[in-house]
Structure 1
């Protein structure tokens, strides 16, 4: 198998030759900084552009009704005042998105580090799996670029925040922000299927686990989280 020569080529080849990429990065060091930086920067772009475009007064009222609609008018005013600063909301969103990626990938790395112990020949440790998590997260870049395009072509400044994630079920099925299903539908995204696939492919390169088991490992956390979330909403 022909290996990849540099991290920038790996960023490109992950879309068409993921096996070669994962075979290479299992031996390479410090390559994961490249996808991390790209994902963090490009992933924050839709948020930055959205808050510089949206009618912020309308957005504030939308969020108040969606998140505090059942509270008293006085409590809603407190919530409204907290959100009054557009710049603060923008940077909270930008840095919050990066923080969530750091945390979610840290959890995923811990999960992979634990489940791959079933392969006695697997030599990768937690930091290796943390780097791995950034490579399988590269599809986020595609959805983020799509989010940027949605904001760019929008003409109405009263643009729903779900537009920042056009691959989410919330956007695809036009789920209202005040729906009890809104958060879950925003979390379920088409690129998650791509991430699952890349995770399974990477596991086949980094371990000697059966292919079927790698797909189970890749899919299980998503199904468990989504199913538990849906059950919580229903109950």
Structure 2
């Protein structure tokens, strides 16, 4: 079965992903709606966070994170540098987030195009795979809604930047403190990371003749490589 239109595909991606990816095979322009939803959710959640959070509290948290091994003089320089940009952080965060989505998906689309060559029947273009990648990022919408809920229901304006990683394995399971060698890595891996990999595997299975195991392997491989290298560097 296939999604009948872009709007139904946005619903199906969460409850029946294969219908979305089957519909995408011959659809034109559906991915623009998905990208708009992801971008809009990111912009709103980021803006709401920064306009509700105590900027001085955020500054202190960032200085602490950036100056763990710094001398007193270096700490002062870091603080002065961050103080100059504190009022513009929301726009840097929004711009950086949107830029990351566009660039990361450009890279992953090239990866999908490359691995799809192993299936001679897969004839999708780079543009099609770019759209494919956008749909695998749809869990980001749910992530942004979670951030909004946490910010708007908070009883204080002293909101930590870690709220953006509320579903990370560190916050849900490990509880590693700031400064731990694996802190940043475990904050970067979340249930939404796994969700995105699952969607990519389902999509690859729909778009190619890959076996399920092969689809899972290719879907997970970029993250395994990136996080594997990150872990090695962190532990050395």
Contact 2:182 2:235 in 1 (8 A): no
SS of equivalent residue, structure 2 residue 53 = coil
Contact 1:67 1:178 in 2 (8 A): no
Instruction: Quote how far apart the aligned CAs of 1:154 are.
Output: 1.4
Instruction: Quote how far apart the aligned CAs of 1:134 are.
Output: 0.7
Counterpart residue number, 1:87: 87
Structure number with higher helix proportion: 2
Contact 1:47 1:90 in 2 (8 A): yes
Structure 2 regions of 5+ residues with no counterpart? none
CA distance in structure 1 between the partners assigned to 2:129 and 2:95 by the alignment: 23
Matches within 5 A, 1:1-235: 1=1, 3-84=2-83, 85-172=85-172, 173-235=174-236
Structure 1 regions of 5+ residues with no counterpart? none
Contact 2:165 2:188 in 1 (8 A): no
Q: Deviation string for 1:174-195 (max 9, x for gaps)? A: 4434333232122101012211
SS of equivalent residue, structure 2 residue 210 = coil
Corresponding residue pairs, total: 234
Instruction: Quote how far apart the aligned CAs of 1:74 are.
Output: 3.3
CA distance in structure 2 between the partners assigned to 1:232 and 1:34 by the alignment: 38
Q: Deviation string for 1:153-206 (max 9, x for gaps)? A: 112322221112211123324443433323212210101221111111111111
TM-score by length of 2: 0.92
SS of equivalent residue, structure 1 residue 83 = helix
SS of equivalent residue, structure 1 residue 52 = helix
TM-score by length of 1: 0.93
Structure 1 ranges of 4+ moved more than 4 A:
none
RMSD: 1.6
Contact 1:35 1:135 in 2 (8 A): yes
Contact 2:59 2:86 in 1 (8 A): no
CA distance in structure 2 between the partners assigned to 1:65 and 1:118 by the alignment: 48
